[in-house]
Chains A and B, each alone.
Chain A
Amino acid sequence: SQTIHQWPATLVQPVGSPLSLECTVEGTSNPNLYWYRQAAGRGLQLLFYSVGIGQISSEVPQNLSASRPQDRQFILSSKKLLLSDSGFYLCAWAPWGQGNTDTQYFGPGTRLTVL
């Protein structure tokens, strides 16, 4: 069966500090991978998605970046955090080749507080 991991689970960082969040998927190959952010009391905002190693599509222009160095690893980074970067960061995966039936499965999330 497939498993998705995220770490850390919680993070408190000062404004202007760097960020690195990691997501890994087990039990599948060549998944589509996604990073979402959920601000307090708000919906899910798609930040990045990837259909393969080194292939990253950005949905929202901001101070965040993403990388996919390995097939089942997805990393979200920032060089300098802003207060507005606080939120619940969710990684999701979808099986490759599903076409229009892309069911996404979410990891446990990372709760980031920027002070």
Chain B
Amino acid sequence: QKEVEQNSGPLSVPEGAIASLNCTYSDRGSQSFFWYRQYSGKSPELIMSIYSNGDKEDGRFTAQLNKASQYVSLLIRDSQPSDSATYLCAVNTGFQKLVFGTGTRLLVSP
């Protein structure tokens, strides 16, 4: 059973702080990794994808991948109340399918 694990939270951070979201996966052969944001009652929207070890930055978001340790993280700098949402980690383990974690709920307080 291929698994993706996330802490359910909530992770509470003050406005302007850095939020750090983590994800571990079980399939060592995984090749691509994704972070989605889901607001309450809405569908997931893609934030970032990462395929190689290291960091990938896009605006206030940085994805970090460490295949040896089998973890992916998402850093959100200068967190805003509008960042309050559930963040889903997804891993492509081949066969054109993604396995999703259950998500981490982030709360950013003004």
Contact = CB atoms under 8 A, between A and B. Distances in A.
A interface, by DSSP: helix, strand, loop or mixed?
strand
Given A43-B103, A101-B32, A109 B43 contact: yes
Contacts, number: 52
B51 A101 contact: yes
A46 interface: yes
A102 B51 CA distance: 11
B97 A44 contact: no
Interface residues of B, number: 23
Contacts of B51: 101
B102 interface: yes
A31 to B, nearest CB: 11
Contacts of B44: 44, 90, 106
B34 interface: yes
Given A32-B96, A51-B96, A105 B46 contact: yes
15 contacts: A34-B97, A43-B100, A43-B101, A43-B103, A44-B44, A44-B88, A51-B96, A101-B49, A101-B51, A101-B92, A102-B92, A102-B96, A102-B98, A103-B49, A109-B43
Interface of B: 31-32, 34, 36, 41-46, 49, 51, 88, 90, 92, 94, 96-98, 100-103
